Amino acid sequence: MQTQLLDAKEPESIRKAARILQNGGLVGIPTETVYGLAANALNGAAVAGIFTAKSRPMDNPLIVHISQFDQIDGLVREVPDAARKLAERFWPGPLTIILPKGNCIPDEVSAGLDTVAIRFPSHPVAQAVIDAAGVPLAAPSANLSGHPSPTTAAHVMDDMDGRIEAVLDGGPCAVGVESTVVTLAAEPPRLLRPGGVTLEQLREVLGDVEMDQAVLNPLPEGQQAASPGMKYKHYSPKANVVILDGSLEHYIDYVNTHAKPGVAALCYNGENDALSVPAICYGGERDCGEQARELFDALRELDDVLHAETVYARCPEPKGVGLAVYNRLIRAAGFEVISLG
């Protein structure tokens, strides 16, 4: 299959993408979080194609994307007050809400669960495509399963060329990590995945919100994941990533002591000058928004540009959006963290 790269600024590109989706095909689309791999959410066969294209395990459910709040009716059994409050404050935006699912949701979308994940993205291209297709779109991140999520159309082409009908190029993603996932099917509501909407912000609206233990910890052997996606190794470059938790001074010291061919660093802006190994910077030390935007591109560069075997990474502060950065990086590192004291 030839994958068309479409310029999202051209109105004809949006119409083309919509036609492909209406006909049961797959299109990579920009959203404010990461690029999504979209299919008609109401067409089980089309949705099944997403799993094949990504090599995604069938038991990992997808997020359904809408372009107007009212579109949620029918997709879920009911819309509780808590969902309305969240939508009022954070939609359109990088927040996914899990609710008991409505009858029209195919099993392929929910992976057999009795709940469904819904998001109203703020990206104008994502909204335009959903509007033009006239159906909600199921869309996981548009990477091969296990690879870092794509934050540019070029990343999507790297993983999906020849596997899907088209990619809409809408430029780099503004948030850079996948949406915050909160379930309202639990009491109290629970954060399953941190993202651009922070735990602190969710608590401002909902009061009590628990953080699922899988946000910061590996899932204990044999335990069922509240969010199936959390049990898979994620966001991993080929290189072996190790997080070094400690001061900059200790970090520089550790990296330079362990320097040898194949070792690389994933550090904050400006820190590379003091290191004696090749380095990729992923934002300013105090700017977790920038770290979120740059992390996945940095993980890809460690493989594709530096061909690193071992990567020593600076440890993000797990607060605000930094919690999302930390959550992705510890998964990329397979939870390997060395404390520098």
- If you ran DSSP here, which 8-state letter would residue 228 be given? G
3-state secondary structure of 122: coil
- If you ran DSSP here, which 8-state letter would residue 8 be given? T
Residue from 141, 152, 179, 180 binding Mg ion (CB under 5 A): 141
C-beta separation of 179 from 95 below 8 A: yes
117 binds, among ligand AMP, Mg ion, none (CB under 5 to 8 A by kind): ligand AMP
Determine the residue type at 212: D
Q: Among residues 118 and 244, whose Cβ is nearest to ligand AMP?
A: 118
Q: Among residues 300 and 314, whose Cβ is nearest to Mg ion?
A: 300
Kindly state whether residue 63 participates in binding ligand AMP, applying the rule CB under 6 A.
yes
Residue from 80, 228, 246, 320 binding ligand AMP (CB under 6 A): 228
Distance, in Å, from the CA atom of 77 to the CA atom of 184, rounded to the nearest integer, reads 12
Q: How far apart are the first and last CA of the chain?
A: 53
Alpha-carbon distances, residue 293 vs 1, 72, 101 (angstroms):
31, 29, 32
Distance, in Å, from the CA atom of 105 to the CA atom of 252, rounded to the nearest integer, reads 51
Kindly state whether residue 31 participates in binding Mg ion, applying the rule CB under 5 A.
no
Q: Among residues 193 and 314, whose Cβ is nearest to ligand AMP?
A: 193
63 binds, among Mg ion, ligand AMP, none (CB under 5 to 8 A by kind): ligand AMP
Kindly state whether residue 140 participates in binding ligand AMP, applying the rule CB under 6 A.
yes
Determine the residue type at 203: R
C-beta separation of 20 from 165 below 8 A: yes
Measured in whole angstroms, the distance separating CA 318 from the mean position of its chain's CA atoms is 17
Stretch that binds ligand AMP, among 45-53, 108-116, 244-252, 257-265 (CB under 6 A): 108-116
Cβ contacts of 140 within 8 Å, gap of 6 or more: 36, 37, 50, 54, 56, 60, 62, 63
Please give the backbone phi and psi of residue 283, each rounded to the nearest 5 degrees, phi first. 105, 175
Kindly state whether residue 141 participates in binding ligand AMP, applying the rule CB under 6 A.
yes
- If you ran DSSP here, which 8-state letter would residue 217 be given? S
Residue from 25, 61, 189, 322 binding ligand AMP (CB under 6 A): 61
110 binds, among Mg ion, ligand AMP, none (CB under 5 to 8 A by kind): ligand AMP
Kindly state whether residue 31 participates in binding ligand AMP, applying the rule CB under 6 A.
no
Kindly state whether residue 227 participates in binding Mg ion, applying the rule CB under 5 A.
no
Distance, in Å, from the CA atom of 129 to the CA atom of 17, rounded to the nearest integer, reads 7
Kindly state whether residue 127 participates in binding ligand AMP, applying the rule CB under 6 A.
no
Q: Among residues 100 and 228, whose Cβ is nearest to Mg ion?
A: 228
Q: Among residues 30 and 140, whose Cβ is nearest to Mg ion?
A: 140
Stretch that binds Mg ion, among 39-47, 76-84, 134-142, 329-337 (CB under 5 A): 134-142
Kindly state whether residue 97 participates in binding ligand AMP, applying the rule CB under 6 A.
no
CB of 263 to Mg ion, least distance (A): 28
- Pairing status of strand 180-183 against strand 190-193: antiparallel
Determine the residue type at 254: Y
Kindly state whether residue 332 participates in binding ligand AMP, applying the rule CB under 6 A.
no
Cβ contacts of 286 within 8 Å, gap of 6 or more: none
Beta bridge partners of 190: 183, 210
Q: Among residues 51 and 251, whose Cβ is nearest to ligand AMP?
A: 51
Number of helices followed by number of strands (H, E) in the chain: 10, 16
Q: Which of residues 191-220 bind ligand AMP (CB under 6 A)?
A: 192-193
166 binds, among ligand AMP, Mg ion, none (CB under 5 to 8 A by kind): none
Q: Considering only CA atoms, which of 127, 172, 133 is closest in space to residue 150?
A: 172
Count of residues of this chain found to bind ligand AMP when the rule CB under 6 A is applied: 20
Kindly state whether residue 279 participates in binding ligand AMP, applying the rule CB under 6 A.
no
**Contacts with ligand AMP, residue ranges (CB under 6 A):** 60-63, 98, 110, 113, 115-117, 140-141, 178, 181, 192-193, 227-230
**Contacts with Mg ion, residue ranges (CB under 5 A):** 140-141
